[in-house]
Amino acid sequence: MTLFRLDASIRTAGSASREIADIVEAEWQAAHPGDTVIRRHIGVDVLPADAWGLAVGAGFTPDADRTPQQRRATALAAELTDELVGATAVLLAVPLYNFGVSQHVKTWIDLIITDPRAAAGGPPLLAGKPVVLATVRGGAYGSGTPREGWDHSTGYLRRILADVWGADLTLVEREFTLVGVNPALDAFTDAAADLHRAALSAAQEAGKALGAAAHRQAV
């Protein structure tokens, strides 16, 4: 069995989303010792910003007339799609950046959508496949908070992963990751600590469930 893990944090150390994903991965590996984990860190090893436009253009260009740049873009889209559809289970670690989806994640999704296997009208790309989405936010965006409705990432990712691609999606969230960094949030220190502990516990449970679901799917 294979776990595909995507990390989108731009941080090389101290990433809150990676902390959650590490726990999920550890639980998956405990259930599947020796099995393969394929990793792609698009927050550090970024995808070319122009690849999506080139891949779209290639779709309207006869194969013989495609430019070398278009061929590289379609090959990259196929490689990304191969990693996703070839996995038994999927783990995505995606922070909220600037109230929206990370540009790196958006490029990753957009490129996959150009692959023929993700074409509208076909079978869902991840039909029934277990997927854990670990997402973190620097402040609080829940119901009743001053920034309720400002998170434009999580809902979009739910739409793509579960509604469009058909994944069996589990969400692990943590808020207030900037408490201790931004002095304006110092009043929320205790709440942030509680949310941190809850997120790590949820990650452990999600990892165990991911390992069990992957096993059922492979049987």
Q: Measured on CA atoms in the order 101, 105, 110, 115, is the torsion positive or negative?
A: negative
Q: Measured on CA atoms in the order 40, 46, 49, 50, is the torsion positive or negative?
A: negative
In angstroms, the CA 110 to CA 50 distance is 11
- State yes or no: 15 annotated in a binding site: yes
What are the structure tokens assigned to 42, written together?
């698009």
Helix, strand, coil shares, percent, the chain, to 5: 50, 15, 35
3-class SS of residue 179: coil
- State yes or no: 167 annotated in a binding site: no
In angstroms, the CA 129 to CA 125 distance is 9
Residue 212's H or E segment, with its range, is helix 189-218
Question: Under 8 Å CB-to-CB from 131, ≥6 apart: which residues?
Answer: 89, 90, 91, 92, 161, 167, 168, 169, 170
Spacing of C-alpha 149 from chain mean position: 20
* Residue 38, number of CB atoms within 10 A of its CB: 15
Phi, psi of 128 (to 5 degrees): 75, 0
Numbered residues of the known binding site for FMN: 9, 15-17
Numbered residues of the known binding site: 9, 15-17
